[in-house]
Amino acid sequence: MTYPAELTELIEEFQDVDDKMERLEMVFDLSDEVIPLPPSAWTQESKVHGCQSEAHVKVELQDGKVILLSGADAKLVQGLMGILSIAINGTAPAQALLLSPDFAEEMGILNSLSPSRSNGFRNMFDKVMRDIRMLV
Amino acid sequence: MALRDDFPILKREVNGYPLIYLDNAATTQKPQVVLDAMNAYYMSSNSNVHRAVHTLAGEATEGYESCRTRLKEWFNADRAVITSGTTEAINLVAHAWGRANLTAGDAIVLTEMEHHSDIVPWQMLAEERGVELRYVPVLEDFTLDMEAYAASLDGAKLVCVVHTSNVLGVRNPLEEIIELAHGNGSLVLIDAAQGVPHERIDFKHSKADFMAFSAHKMCGPTGIGALLIDGDVFETMQPFMGGGDMIETVTVNGSTFQNNEHKFEAGTPRIAEAVGWCAAFDWLSKINLPEEHNRLIKIARWVSEQLRSMGISVYGRHDEKDSAVVSFLHPKIHSEDLAHLFDSRGIAVRTGHHCAQPLLHRLGISGTVRASFYLYNTMDEAEKFVEQLKLITERFG
């Protein structure tokens, strides 16, 4: 699949790194990319189920473009949210909905994560896509 | 360390680093003799047990039943029902004893230290039968409130208590718990899943009425465990699951049941696993368990002291009878992040609520990182674990 240029670049950066701790650190650093959804705004509606830790997402449309707000208590989850934000923020809903979650696998992130975390990422991705569909 | 050579998995690398396996409270690794015994069973004796007269069926039956014999010998028990594990063993008591002996208004005493497998079956039964559940609190020193326990016994038909906490490693004062319960006329069920790997328990001597545990936490295969039952209590239990192997006769009008352990073992049992468990008992019988326990609790104590000196909260006391479990929370790094970082250096630890949410609620936390040590773990591994934690803290804390 073809990804937005910024995401393609990110995938290549991850693929160049062999050390798992370094890859994890790169994911941690990407937590800065999220538009925060503060814990005070965490609700049952925003909760991502299937994550071992607390993870919350909220999708809004601003001028017809997707904006993902997110928050989590684990840095790794925040980093995954950051990657998803890079992929979909500022895009039209129709374009965001074309995104495949495979990018996480191509970055070697899913391989470096436990099955429950991988499922958590998938659950987060699916929830964001579901929320986008509900807005359009 | 010679016994490490018996475990082929310990030779592997994870993420480019030698595996340091510290998730033993979840499951232990298997020595080669267990793998060989299971493989040999499937290679040469695989058959179904009990009914058939052919040679293979005889060998399979002998293999399966020798596990029961081994259980009775190892734990000094009259009755040993083979189950899928601790969880099924406890559910078996809830159904086979609970339904036959508990009515509305009866009480069961549990503790806040229990694993979910010793809470949920009782909650389900309580809802069905109108039975009251009472929980013994855990104190700030990570021990049970024994005064509250004594006060909770009035009217209790059953006490269910964990031998050793899977989160804290705390070994409960079972002798006192059982004595008080029996003085009150209550039966006692011990969840010994974390106890049997570390302590050679004499079931009859303990005077417990039920004891549940799993093979996989003591170097045996997954999918098999046992329920030891006092001989007299055994007679008061009704069959739980119906099916083949547990019956005496079946007609279209009804069935009669076997009067031995088979009445609780409906269906084809876990034959290869039973054979593997026998091999695990043989292997363990060559180990000086008390000596190893002392070595391991010293390692756990050293690790917990190191962690505390780094400003890390450790949940547990590491007394001499406790298991070698170190549960902790890093002040700056989230437990799950920490577990992933450890994994990147080949170190396997566990995070989360460890299926003991009421205990964590009492401790005011939602989860911990847990490093649990077993027979093949060394001081060198403990030092590497602490060293990595320091490096991770410097880089990410």
Question: For the domain that residue A83 is a member of, what is the CATH number?
Answer: 3.90.1010.10
What does the block give as tokens for A56?
Answer: 């919350």
A119 touches chain B (CB under 8 A): no
Selecting from B15, B334, B352 the residue whose C-beta is nearest the C-beta of A73 gives: B334
Closest chain B residue by Cα to residue A54: B366
Whole-angstrom distance, CA of residue B43 vs CA of residue A53: 44
Q: Residue A111's pLDDT band (boundaries 50, 70, 90)?
A: low
Complex prediction ipTM: 0.88
Cβ–Cβ gap A24/B334 under 8 Å: no
- Min Cα distance B314 → chain A (Å) is 20
- Per-residue pLDDT of B348-359, as tens digits, reads 999 988 888 999
In the predicted model, what is the mean pLDDT of residues A8-13? 91
The helix or strand, by DSSP H or E, that contains position A95, with its residue range, turns out to be: helix A93-96
| pLDDT on residue A104 | 77
Structurally, how many domains does chain A consist of? Answer: 1
Which three-class secondary structure state does DSSP give residue A112?
helix
Band (B247; pLDDT cuts 50, 70, 90): confident
Mutate to test the interface with A, among B332, B340, B345, B365 (most CBs of A within 10 A): B340
Cα–Cα distance list, B153 to B128, B160, B173, B191, B340 (Å): 22, 12, 16, 18, 44
Alpha-carbon distance of B143 to B136, in angstroms, equals 10
**Rounded to an integer, what distance in angstroms lies between the CA atom of residue B207 and that of residue B210?**
9
Per-residue pLDDT at A113 exceeds 70: no
pLDDT of residue A119: 64
Q: Using alpha carbons, list the distances in angstroms from residue A130 to A64, A78, A115, B393.
A: 17, 19, 22, 38
Strand order in the sheet with A65-72: A35-36, A65-72, A55-62
Each residue's pLDDT tens digit, B289-299: 999 999 999 99
| Residue A116 scores a pLDDT above 70 | no
Domains and CATH numbers, chain B: 2-22+288-396 (3.90.1150.10), 34-284 (3.40.640.10)
pLDDT attached to residue B367: 87
Position A115 pLDDT exceeds 90: no
Would you call A76 and B337 a contact, using CB atoms and an 8 Å cutoff? yes
What average pLDDT does chain B have? 95
Q: What is the pLDDT of residues A15-40, one digit of tens each?
A: 999 998 999 999 999 999 999 999 99
Confidence class of residue A114 from pLDDT cuts 50, 70 and 90?
very low
- Residue B352: which of A52, A75, A76 has the nearest Cβ? A52
φ, ψ dihedrals at B344, nearest 5°: -65, -15
**CB-based contact (8 Å) between B396 and chain A?**
yes
Provide the shortest C-alpha distance from residue A20 to chain B (in Å).
5
Q: Report whether B117 contacts B355 (CB < 8 A).
A: yes
Q: Choose among A19, A24, A73: nearest Cβ to B340.
A: A24
Centre a 10 Å sphere on the Cβ of residue A62 and count the other Cβ atoms it contains. 9
pLDDT score, position A101:
82
User: Taking 60 as the threshold, does the pLDDT of residue A117 lie above it?
Assistant: no
Q: Is A19 in CB contact (< 8 Å) with chain B?
A: yes
pLDDT exceeds 60 at position A118: no
- Is the pLDDT higher at B220 or at B51? B220
Percentage of chain B modeled with pLDDT above 70: 100
pLDDT in tens, B203-216: 999 999 999 999 99
- DSSP class of residue A16 equals T
Q: What pLDDT shows up at residue A107?
A: 80
- Bridge-partner residues for B156, per DSSP? B107
Domain that holds residue A103: 5-135
Tell me the nearest-neighbour CA distance from A81 into chain B, angstroms. 15
List the single residue in B335, B336, B344 with the smallest CB-CB distance to A20.
Answer: B344
pLDDT at A123: 84
User: Residue B367's closest chain A neighbor by CA?
Assistant: A53
CA distance B119 to B117: 6
pLDDT on residue A112: 46
B297-347 per-position pLDDT tens digit: 999 999 999 999 999 999 999 999 999 999 999 999 999 899 999 999 999
B101/B252: higher pLDDT: B101
Residue B286 has pLDDT above 80, yes or no: yes
Query: Is A76 within 8 Å of B351 when comparing Cβ atoms?
Result: no
Percentage, residues of chain A above pLDDT 90: 60
The answer to whether A82 and A74 have CB atoms below 8 angstroms apart is no
User: Mean pLDDT throughout B13-28?
Assistant: 97
Predicted pLDDT of residue A110? 58
Interface of A with B in 57-96 (CB under 8 A): 73-77
